Amino acid sequence: MLKKVLDGARGLWDGDLTLFGAPPVDEFTRGRLRAEQIGSVVRYTPAIMMANVFNALVLVVAMWDAPVANLVHLWAFCLITMCVYVYLRRRGDPGKHRPKTASPRGIRHAALYAFIIGCLWTVVPLQFFEASSYQGQLIILCLSTGMICAGAFVLSTIPSAAIAFTTPLAFGFAVTVLQMGQPVYLLVSVLTIVYAFVLTRAVATHALQLLARVVAQVESELAAQTDSLTGLPNRVAFREELNSALSRLARYGEGFAVLYIDLDDFKSVNDQLGHAAGDDLLAQSADRMRACLRDIDCVARLSGDEFAIIAAAVKEPVQAMVVAERLVRAFSSPFMVGGARITSRISIGIAIAPFDGQDAETLLKKADTALYSSKRDRRGHFQFFQSELDAQAQHRIAMEKELREAIAHRQLALAFQPFVDMRTRRVTGFEALLRWDHPTRGPICPLDFIPVAEKTGCIQEIGEFVIGEAIRTAATWPDHLRIAINFSPDQLRSMSIVPLVLGLLKDSGLQPSRLEIEITESAVVAESQQAIEILQALRGAGVRIALDDFGTGYSSLNYLRKLPLDRIKIDRAFIGDMIEHPDCTAIVKAVIGLAADLGMDVTAEGVETENQYDSLAALSCHEAQGYLLSRPVRADAVHKIIQDQALAA
């Protein structure tokens, strides 16, 4: 019991309120409480000091003729000096921009000053009361009780200071008055002690109310700054953390690193295993990241599958590299989510303060740029910011913005390039090729903007536009003509593409067999099983599948066996070189033979000369496409080609 009281009293000295029955709180909340306690006392300090000086002067005047007048002057000098000292210290206080938390030192200082001033006031009854006239005693009585009450009131948020101030004064006064021996003095003495106890109780209640308010405030702030799924700080909290790191950098020169993190395969986990599994993966990823960091570092979830880390006290890039390596390694082992064992890797972009920037915007932008290049070049790894990336990133960001506007303002359109039957030279169909009619830069080649659309996710929206537009256009053509559409790897990630395509076919009345999807080998390599399932589903519904740019990708013949294919398109690089390089002719010949053996059709792309055409015809290639036959043309010109063909027939 005694130990508990002693511990409580020691805690009280540091601003802790357990002695009064307060619930235990964490160190952060204690710091916030101390800041509130000190803040409210500091606000009153000038007024308190002025009241002290005024009261001291009142006493000097009242005791001007008393035998102890000299002693009173000396006392008043000491008190006023102390008050001026405390006032000047308060002036050095940061005022409005006080820190949000405070150490116990400020509380101890407040209690110490309160104690010294309280002791100085105790001198008044102890030394001057007996020697005073009746009027003087009345003034001392008035001043002492006034100081006890005012002190307790003003210091009520810091109970230790309130007690340190009132206790010596109350007891000093009570003892002095008691010594006078008369019953009326006895009554005054008892009343003073009772008041002191009542005041202490009131101080404790007030301090506990303040604590409850601070606890509620900290809890609501915490809730507003926490990501509920992972329990990590959210974007708001991350920005605050970044700001404190920046002020530590400005004040102490303490460098740090910002790491932007993106889960590489999150979208496919969400699509394939469902959102609950996606959430589970995010929560587990957060745990793994946390386990890689020191206490002084901070990891936050910014949005979706985007995380960010502030690695504190980083002097050299190598220190950030160690953290990044640890993170990459932590994601090399598989996760168990939704009953499935999956691998989910992360890509990391790193910017280092002060080398890469000394303000939040610059650092975040550079970390993001580095992440982008990491995702592009080295998925599953980390990448430091390099300034030459900046120019590329600027270009990408500008293009991305314009591309989104292009979609909104319908600046995208399709061109169509015919395929020709090599034996009859008759058109068998058209390939839809995307065009961006930029209002100032003119037409932009798809090879310039499709990769940007793929990186930024716009490709889904663009892809849907192309599919819809191509199918609707082809539905107006004669029945024997097919339409070929190019698919990006990203379009083969989610099964939802299947009902989308089939729905559009149904709405437009286009026979599924008149639609051909062109995919590249890399699309299938990257997305493997999911992509194959999508292609099988489409093919099962009658849609045809062509392998585009054959010979340029991984060219593993295994894919020809694994994929549900109807056609191979030989890349134009081989056709262009056929005449001068006999080995190209040999490859083309082999591919045509292979396709025939596998029961597939073959189209040669990029046929530019009659020579090439004749050679291909001699090798029994089925179809040709290229500038020799026609450049890609707009939809209205397609009708002209169709009409000409009909007339020629």
Under the rule (CB under 6 A), what is the footprint of ligand C2E? 417, 432-434, 445-447, 450, 466, 486-488, 518, 548-549, 572, 605-608, 626-627, 632
From the list ligand C2E, Ca ion, none, partner contacted by residue 482 (C-beta under 5 to 8 A by kind): none
| Shortest CB 503 distance to Ca ion, Å | 23
Which residues bind to Ca ion, rule: CB under 5 A? 486, 518, 548-549, 605
| Shortest CB 281 distance to ligand C2E, Å | 28
From the list Ca ion, ligand C2E, none, partner contacted by residue 623 (C-beta under 5 to 8 A by kind): none
**What is the CB neighbour count within 10 angstroms for residue 614?**
12
CA–CA gap between residue 574 and residue 581 (Å, rounded): 9
Helix (H) or strand (E) holding 639: helix 635-648
Cβ proximity to ligand C2E, 370 vs 535, nearer residue: 535
Q: DSSP states of 447-458 as a string?
A: HHHHHHHHHHTT
From the list ligand C2E, Ca ion, none, partner contacted by residue 466 (C-beta under 5 to 8 A by kind): ligand C2E
* Contact status, residue 432 vs residue 463, Cβ threshold 8 Å: no
User: Which residue carries 């002191």 as its tokens?
Assistant: 196
Q: Which residue is nearest to ligand C2E (CB)?
A: 626
Paired sense of beta strands 482-486 and 427-438, if any: parallel
Cβ proximity to ligand C2E, 168 vs 632, nearer residue: 632
| Shortest CB 569 distance to Ca ion, Å | 5
Any idea what the Cα angle at residue 8 is, between residues 5 and 12, rounded to 5°? 135
624 phi and psi angles, rounded to 5 deg:
-130, 155
From the list Ca ion, ligand C2E, none, partner contacted by residue 106 (C-beta under 5 to 8 A by kind): none
Cβ proximity to ligand C2E, 41 vs 434, nearer residue: 434
Cβ proximity to Ca ion, 288 vs 539, nearer residue: 539
Cβ proximity to ligand C2E, 511 vs 609, nearer residue: 609
From the list Ca ion, ligand C2E, none, partner contacted by residue 227 (C-beta under 5 to 8 A by kind): none
SS3 309: strand
| Shortest CB 611 distance to ligand C2E, Å | 13
From the list ligand C2E, Ca ion, none, partner contacted by residue 632 (C-beta under 5 to 8 A by kind): ligand C2E
CA–CA gap between residue 46 and residue 87 (Å, rounded): 6
**Which pairs with CB-CB distance under 8 Å and at least 24 residues apart come from 330-337?**
330/288, 330/289, 330/291, 330/292, 331/285, 331/288, 331/380, 335/281, 335/284, 335/285, 337/269, 337/273, 337/277, 337/280, 337/281, 337/284
Q: What Rg, from alpha-carbon coordinates, does the chain have?
A: 41
| Shortest CB 432 distance to Ca ion, Å | 9
CA–CA gap between residue 196 and residue 5 (Å, rounded): 20
| Shortest CB 553 distance to ligand C2E, Å | 12
CB neighbours of 503 closer than 8 A, spacing ≥ 6?
Answer: none
* Contact status, residue 369 vs residue 389, Cβ threshold 8 Å: yes
From the list ligand C2E, Ca ion, none, partner contacted by residue 129 (C-beta under 5 to 8 A by kind): none
User: Which residue carries 């939809």 as its tokens?
Assistant: 635
From the list ligand C2E, Ca ion, none, partner contacted by residue 380 (C-beta under 5 to 8 A by kind): none
Cβ proximity to ligand C2E, 126 vs 641, nearer residue: 641
CA–CA gap between residue 545 and residue 522 (Å, rounded): 15
DSSP-assigned beta bridge partners for residue 443: 437
Of 293, 214, 271, nearest in space to 23 by CA: 214
Cβ proximity to Ca ion, 241 vs 518, nearer residue: 518
Paired sense of beta strands 633-634 and 412-421, if any: antiparallel
**Cis-peptide, bond into residue 489, ω within 30° of zero:** no
From the list ligand C2E, Ca ion, none, partner contacted by residue 450 (C-beta under 5 to 8 A by kind): ligand C2E
SS3 297: coil
Cβ proximity to ligand C2E, 356 vs 518, nearer residue: 518
| Shortest CB 314 distance to ligand C2E, Å | 41
Cβ proximity to ligand C2E, 278 vs 576, nearer residue: 576
| Shortest CB 405 distance to ligand C2E, Å | 18
| Shortest CB 412 distance to ligand C2E, Å | 9
Cβ proximity to ligand C2E, 527 vs 548, nearer residue: 548
From the list Ca ion, ligand C2E, none, partner contacted by residue 447 (C-beta under 5 to 8 A by kind): ligand C2E
| Shortest CB 606 distance to ligand C2E, Å | 4
**What is the CB neighbour count within 10 angstroms for residue 591?**
22
